[in-house]
């Protein structure tokens, strides 16, 4: 109507300022409800281009060589699978938030170059009283081992009382590293969407929704770990001749978040 295309949702409301996914593509409807076409769109912290048909693709994500590789090869995330590994943690309410729900996601890295994702899961099955996270990712899998509705013990307090936490298992080769980053970004975006969080980098005042374990050490304390900085830097340098930072990862999270939204 009125020379534009609009989308009305199941409840009859018009979709404004939102992404829509169908037919294997993503579209964006603007503030007045019209389909974005032949224009650039800034949304969820990233810039996108909408072509003549309204199909959007990321622009700013290409600023990093690894993110560009991911987009050029159409790498998509694995499905999230679940293993009941950690005993009942229903008494582990999120003690650091006012509503008992997480308000940040922490990215970890195992620092174990010789173990598999199942090996890491088996270890936490046997040592969960010492520490555990909600999930593990590698190049092929996203495996959640404990409900994200209750806190885990992966980064000390106060972070444990606020965060969904997951570990990246060390992988080798450009393809595997890129796939693992996509899986990590998707799991991050999935949980941000689940709990109504908007992707944003950790800040020194304790705000922000996307945190590395290093950010926790810097801004919240209780730990001195610096992951995943070294792992990302080493693989980015060895396989792509570039770097990779939390800002680069945020662009990937934004892209996956936009598709969910």
Domain boundaries, the chain: 1-58, 80-260
Q: Is the pLDDT of residue 58 over 90?
A: no
Q: What is the residue whose two structure tokens read 């801004």?
A: 219
User: What average pLDDT does range 183-210 have in this prediction?
Assistant: 96
Q: What is the pLDDT of residue 171?
A: 98
Rounded Cα gap, residues 137 and 140, in angstroms: 8
* Position 125 confidence tier, pLDDT thresholds 50, 70, 90: very high
Closest C-alpha among 131, 120, 135, 119 to residue 84:
135
Is residue 201 within 8 A of residue 247, CB to CB? The reply is yes
Per-residue pLDDT for 71 more than 90?
no
Whole-number pLDDT of residue 81: 98
Return d(Cα 168, Cα 204) in angstroms, integer.
Answer: 24
pLDDT at 89: 87
Rounded (5°) CA angle 252-248-202: 95
Residue the block writes with tokens 């975006």: 189
pLDDT above 90: percentage of residues in the chain: 80
Helix or strand or coil: residue 49? strand
The pLDDT, as a whole number, for residue 260 is 84
Identify the CATH homologous superfamily for domain 80-260.
Peptidoglycan recognition protein-like (3.40.80.10)
Question: CA-to-CA distance for 30 and 43, rounded, in angstroms?
Answer: 10
Tell me what the pLDDT averaged over the chain comes to. Answer: 94
Whether the predicted pLDDT of 60 surpasses 80: no
Position 258 scores a pLDDT of 82
Contact 190, 184 (CB under 8 A): no
**What is the pLDDT confidence band of residue 207, given thresholds at 50, 70 and 90?**
very high
Cβ contacts of 74 within 8 Å, gap of 6 or more: none
d(CA 255, CA 200): 13
What percentage of the chain exceeds 70 in pLDDT? 98
Report the predicted TM-score, pTM, of the whole model to 2 decimal places: 0.85
What mean pLDDT do residues 243-248 have? 95
pLDDT value, residue 225: 97
The pLDDT assigned to 61 comes to 66
Buried b (16+ CB within 10 A) or exposed e, 94-129: bebbeeebbbbbbbbbbeeeeeebeebbeebeeebe
Q: Is the pLDDT of residue 152 over 80?
A: yes
Residue 261 has pLDDT above 70, yes or no: no
Fold: same for 1-58 and 80-260 = no
Secondary-structure class of domain 1-58 per CATH: mainly beta
pLDDT at 107: 98
How much is the average pLDDT of 91-115?
96
Contact 59, 40 (CB under 8 A): yes
Q: Looking at the predicted structure, is the pLDDT value of residue 45 above 70? A: no
Element (H, E) at 18: strand 18-22
């Amino acid at each position: 109507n009125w020379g534009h295309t609009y989308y009305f949702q199941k409840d009859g409301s018009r979709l404004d300022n939102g992404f829509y996914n169908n037919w294997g593509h993503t579209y964006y409807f603007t503030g007045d409800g019209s389909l974005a076409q032949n224009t650039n769109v800034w949304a969820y912290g990233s810039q996108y281009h909408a072509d003549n048909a309204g199909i959007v693709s990321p622009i700013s994500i290409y600023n990093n060589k690894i993110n560009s590789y991911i987009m050029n090869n159409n790498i998509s995330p694995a499905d999230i699978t679940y293993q009941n590994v950690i005993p009942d943690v229903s008494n582990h309410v999120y003690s650091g938030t006012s509503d008992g729900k997480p308000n940040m996601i922490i990215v970890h890295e195992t620092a174990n170059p010789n173990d598999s994702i199942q090996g890491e899961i088996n270890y936490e099955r046997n040592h969960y009283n010492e520490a555990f996270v909600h999930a593990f990712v590698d190049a092929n899998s996203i495996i959640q081992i404990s409900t994200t509705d209750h806190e885990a013990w992966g980064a000390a307090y106060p972070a444990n009382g606020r965060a969904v936490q997951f570990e990246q298992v060390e992988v080798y080769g450009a393809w595997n590293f890129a796939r693992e980053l996509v899986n990590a970004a998707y799991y991050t975006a999935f949980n941000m969407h689940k709990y109504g969080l908007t992707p944003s980098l950790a800040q020194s005042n304790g705000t922000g929704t996307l945190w590395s374990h290093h950010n926790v050490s810097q801004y919240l304390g209780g730990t001195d770990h610096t992951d995943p900085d070294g792992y990302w830097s080493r693989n980015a340098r060895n396989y792509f001749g570039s770097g990779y930072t939390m800002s680069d990862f945020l662009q990937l999270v934004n892209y996956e978040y936009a598709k969910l939204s």
